[in-house]
A and B are shown apart, each in its own frame.
Chain A
């Protein structure tokens, strides 16, 4: 009798504890099901790190009482991607997520984002082919709606260029020559820095040179991170670092901020979103920085690459796919929303008609009224490439390999080869079909 009582008590306790564990999720799934079937308002959660996105969502919410969007502010970058993948794995992702182009293939491969072909294929005409390719991954499916893009330009300290008597470099050769000149004139000043912590920036420079890191051929992936174009870029920067004519400290550190701010760093090859970074990280440089197209590999060429940029994707597990696509479509293609994206979120819209909203130069660049004209000219020359399903692995390998190469002043080509090896090994290990 005591034994049965003991068993009963144990069972009851277990039942209580287990019920406590599972109660929450049970409740939420049933309410979500109700939402999707009943006519009541749908509530969508949206993970994004673009500033003021909550204000833009408010405009939508006021006009669409049936579809209410709640913005959940995220930290950007790799952490945001990891968090979304983890949430998707755990089964409670947000309905909408800001997905950087290079992370989208990982999201697709992990089956974390929904295929939006049915709802969004008609939007193709709103975007340039290059950008549209980034959300289709070169397939017939659509995995996200492009939001912003980051064509790269050369940001430089106009006042100090004048002071040191340097012309804005038109080719990378001239850039190297200018780097040497600067060191001669003032040994405390660098023309630029190579950041081993920003594979995204390096990818943009590789795109400019014509690199194609991943591509799909038939039913197999082709990985070519150390192709001739990219090797050329790696050798170029490796040479400059070894020679000591450019700095080797990573971007986005307090050290780098200080250099941007106090005029000991004269250029930053960066994307169209750089004014935001400059105005917060280098407030003293306001009105002193200017923008020009990236230096070219061959005289007379006119190419750029993309650094960053993101799309709006819908989680595969979202019960409100149609509503989510509706909001994402409005956000990224409606003229009113594009205007808000430019003014509130300070992004460079991916939609072609977004350039209409870009009239006034960013405050930081008030000395350059044609800022957006320059930007849209550069954007037209930017070439991208397909990102593979394990960009995260390649980028992590990039950071470790180039950190080491910078530290030991060793060969950047070797570092690049090790990134290629790491990416291929990872894909082979996972079982991806690889083309030879």
Chain B
């Protein structure tokens, strides 16, 4: 008792100062949260809640009893990870992944290769009609995917196609349909990717090239030694976007499907989700498959980023 009393003012002063200091920090730290609120609220409402609801649905299932007719014969029950087990164990889903892998590799390589080539050509010193070419290459991007697919689809149909009149080939056959589909995606995607790369190139100070030219570099050498290294981050960006887009391939096969019997309703993983949710009416397994697709998509895009991170950003 005696000993504690004199200490009180001593100990109280720093404590009081601390409390005041903490209070000040509160006032300062409230503002960031306030600024964050709109983003957090929007994120919660439009991302976290829907994703959460999808996860919730994916853990449930309709259980029917008896004939399934009449009131109360259907119940939504909790089934744990059953839907995931079914989704991962479904051979059709993996076959779909394989098809998309083949298609995606084709699209990525050709589309980004062409985009890079066009960007470099348009940026080179000797190009003529640059404005027109730029717009002409970009224009297909402005055509909606469904329209583009139907437009090409009619060109593929044997009896209507001018192509098949010249060369005897079934463009919608089981072996060729993937190329026909990739062609639509490439046609629509080159322009956008070219524009991203081209814009990056235009931001490069011209003095680099002058210096290179004075050193005796040819246009080809400038492209290979200067432009492509400068473009690397942009190429990686477009690649990540394209990976995500090809994993989500849906429009082209869905719009082509009525024209041919080579595309099944589960051709791509996303088509299977659509089939499950809206054709066969099983929202629950569709939800589980969606989560699996999101997972694969994340793994692939982040995996790719990780692999190239050092090259792209490590030096910067």
Contacts and interface: CB of A to CB of B under 8 A. Distances in A.
**A and B co-occur in one complex:** yes
Interface in A247-261: 248-250, 252-255, 258-259
Contacts of A21: 45
Given A392-B280, A400-B264, A2 B30 contact: yes
A3 B73 CA distance: 50
Contact of B45 (A17, A393, A400, A407): A17
Contact of B64 (A6, A10, A431): A431
B52 interface: no
A309 to B, nearest CB: 21
Contacts of B68: 109, 221, 389, 430-432
A252 B258 contact: yes
17 contacts: A2-B27, A6-B34, A9-B37, A13-B41, A89-B283, A109-B73, A253-B157, A254-B259, A255-B157, A255-B159, A392-B280, A400-B265, A403-B263, A403-B264, A406-B261, A407-B174, A407-B261
Interface string A253-294: 111001100000000000000000000000000000000000
A404 interface: yes
B69 interface: yes
Interface in A123-161: 137, 139, 141
Contacts, number: 118
B74 A396 contact: no
Contacts of A109: 64, 68-69, 73-74
Given A78-B279, A111-B74, A390-B280, A9 B34 contact: yes
Interface string B248-292: 000000000011011111100000000100111101000000000
Contact of A253 (B70, B174, B259): B259
Contact of A220 (B27, B67, B264): B67
B88 interface: no
Interface in B36-80: 37-38, 41, 45, 62-71, 73-74
Nearest to B30: A2
Contact of B159 (A14, A106, A258, A400): A258
Most buried by B among A137, A196, A249, A402: A249
Most buried by B among A197, A252, A254, A399: A254
B148 to A, nearest CB: 16
Interface of B: 26-27, 30, 33-34, 37-38, 41, 45, 62-71, 73-74, 154, 157-160, 174, 258-259, 261-266, 275, 278-281, 283
A216 interface: yes
A254 B71 CA distance: 44
A352 interface: no
A396 B266 CA distance: 10
Interface size of A as a range: 35 or more
Interface in A55-98: 78, 82, 85-86, 89
Contacts of B157: 253-255
A121 interface: no
B261 A6 contact: no
Contacts of B33: 6
Given A10-B37, A216-B67, A407-B262, A396 B45 contact: no
Interface of A: 2-3, 6, 9-10, 13-14, 17, 21, 78, 82, 85-86, 89, 105-106, 108-111, 115, 137, 139, 141, 196-197, 216, 219-221, 248-250, 252-255, 258-259, 389-390, 392-393, 396, 399-400, 402-404, 406-408, 426, 430-433
Contacts of A258: 159-160
B34 A430 contact: no
A205 to B, nearest CB: 18
Contacts of B263: 403
Contacts of A403: 261-264
Contact of A255 (B64, B66, B74, B160): B160
Contacts of B63: 430-431
A250 B278 contact: no
B79 to A, nearest CB: 11
B289 to A, nearest CB: 15
Contacts of A406: 261
Nearest to B283: A89
Contacts of B65: 431, 433
A392 B264 CA distance: 15
